[in-house]
Structure 1
Amino acid sequence: MSSRSNTRRSNESNTEGEQKQEDAQEKHASIKNLAREYPMATEAIVNWRNYIRDVFAEYFIANPLAIGGPGHVVEIDESAFVKRKCNVGRAVRTQWVFGCIDVESKHGFLVAVPQRDAATLLPILQQYVLPGTTVVSDLWGAYNTINNLGYHHLTVNHSLHFVDPATHATTNHVESMWSRAKLRNRRECGTHRQLLDSYLIEFMWRLQFNGDPFENLLTHIRNLYPL
């Protein structure tokens, strides 16, 4: 096996345990599994899940997400969540999502964007990522001026390697995040475009409260609806 493959596997090993745990939680929480385990109509389960996502959204309104900072590494990337498969089927507009993950805290954000230019992506980066952060990306042109925004910018040329041999910069963590974020889509045959924002908010919340999501959910409901 090449050293390139060994390096990539080594960098991904830190997230394998977390991914398996999240995969198990997501599989258990799928609508089909919930409908089999509990005597509730599918419509009721969908309504409850939408209500819980409203709780997640209210949490982030009250507690705006801010990640990174001096000494932190944040990996950024964009990924297509809605597109035609192999250019087959009815014409649909590709829906891009801009996201990042803090390698240290494992917190991150995902935001649906209309396009992938600098005017769209960089203000979102500044909204969520604190100054002084080391930001790692690929060579997408929209990221060329990140160094001018108060960040230390490292890049990876994916046509040559997965980990930069000089700086050891990698985007393996954010690529792993995309894999986890899209897992539910594969299990439930996709997410309706109108519900994509709420799904992304749910995923962001799960990243932040993966250790004890149920207890944190109850706490947030109590805070949102005090007796």
Structure 2
Amino acid sequence: MLLFANSSSGVRTSFLRKQLGLGTKSAHRLSNRIRLHMSAWDRPTQLGGPGKLVEVDEVILRHIRKPGAPNLDSALVMGIECEGQVLCGIVPDRKRETLHRNIKKFVAPDSIVVTDDWVAYRKLADLGFRHITVNHSQGYFNTEGYSTGKIDSYWAVVRRAMRGYHQVSQYNLWLFIAEIECRYNMRHSAESIFDTLVSHWPSVIGDDLEALRLKYDWS
């Protein structure tokens, strides 16, 4: 767990297998149990607030192994960032209904929402948000100086971690998303990430496990 807490790009199963003398299946199971524990940290239910900037974007993750598919596929992850904290979830598409539903659920009322100019983000004002768009084909910032740079920086962290895993099953993808999010959000904590994790052991079985999974499944 110490390795997972302090790594900047995740811990490979092959590394655990070699360092701990485990078999491949045992190392894989241990890795996912640690990720499951990290998924149970006390993540915020919403980000933002009156007058606060909230950046929203999606990223496509490659090399995802889906059940029954002969070739590796991809998955879509939506992210919300505010003041150095992020919330992420796996989404099925980039349709307006999907994006608006999750923004309404995870962004606090009266926030200022900053997105790119993807058509599905239009009419966010109907949900009560002030909406600012950035046309990336014209530049990194819009004419008012706003950007989606913070959530873009987080996507770089996600891609770097996922790149080392080569391929991830669709079934376990939420655990990897949870691991990266947990480590990122705790990076400035006064208490070390490891100390926080070992002092907190919530239930991760049965209905509690399904509730955890649904926190990262935004479909």
In structure 2, do the counterparts of structure 1 residues 28 and 175 end up closer, same or farther at CA, with 3 Å as the change threshold? Answer: closer
Match for residue 132 of structure 1 among 102, 106, 110? 110
Q: In 1, Cα distance between the equivalents of 2:119 and 2:109?
A: 21
Three-state SS of the structure 2 residue aligned to 1:194 is coil
Corresponding pairs, count: 193
Structure 1 residue 157 corresponds to structure 2 residue 135: yes
Structure (1 or 2) with the greater helix fraction = 1
1:191: which partner in 2? 168
Q: In 2, Cα distance between the equivalents of 1:35 and 1:171?
A: 39
Check conservation: 1:56, 1:201, Cα contact below 8 A.
yes
Check conservation: 1:82, 1:96, Cα contact below 8 A.
no
2:217: which partner in 1? none
State the Cα distance separating 1:193 from its structure 2 match: 1.6
* TM-score after normalising by structure 1: 0.75
Aligned pairs (5 A) from 1:46-125: 46-59=28-41, 65-82=45-62, 94-102=74-82, 104=83, 106-125=84-103
* TM-score after normalising by structure 2: 0.77
Match for residue 187 of structure 2 among 196, 210, 216? 210
Q: In 2, Cα distance between the equivalents of 1:108 and 1:27?
A: 17
In structure 2, do the counterparts of structure 1 residues 27 and 98 end up closer, same or farther at CA, with 3 Å as the change threshold? Answer: closer
Check conservation: 1:184, 1:190, Cα contact below 8 A.
no
1:147 maps to a residue whose letter is: A
Q: Output one character per residue of 1:85-140: Cα deviation in whole Å (capped at 9) or x when no partner.
A: xxxxx6665421111211x2x11122111111111111111111111111110001
2:50 maps to a residue whose letter is: P
2:148: which partner in 1? 171
Q: In 2, Cα distance between the equivalents of 1:66 and 1:200?
A: 17
Aligned pairs (5 A) from 1:31-42: 31-42=13-24
In structure 2, do the counterparts of structure 1 residues 83 and 121 end up closer, same or farther at CA, with 3 Å as the change threshold? Answer: farther
2:15 maps to a residue whose letter is: N
Q: In 1, Cα distance between the equivalents of 2:111 and 2:196?
A: 28
Q: In 2, Cα distance between the equivalents of 1:53 and 1:193?
A: 15
Check conservation: 1:67, 1:129, Cα contact below 8 A.
yes
Q: In 2, Cα distance between the equivalents of 1:201 and 1:125?
A: 19
Check conservation: 1:27, 1:33, Cα contact below 8 A.
no
CA RMSD of aligned residues (A): 2.6
2:200: which partner in 1? 220
Q: Which has the higher relative contact order, 1 or 2, with Cα contacts under 8 A spaced 6 or more apart?
A: 2
Q: In 2, Cα distance between the equivalents of 1:187 and 1:151?
A: 38
Q: In 2, Cα distance between the equivalents of 1:112 and 1:119?
A: 15
Q: Percent sequence identity over matched residues?
A: 25
1:95 maps to a residue whose letter is: A
Check conservation: 2:141, 2:147, Cα contact below 8 A.
yes
Check conservation: 1:53, 1:202, Cα contact below 8 A.
yes
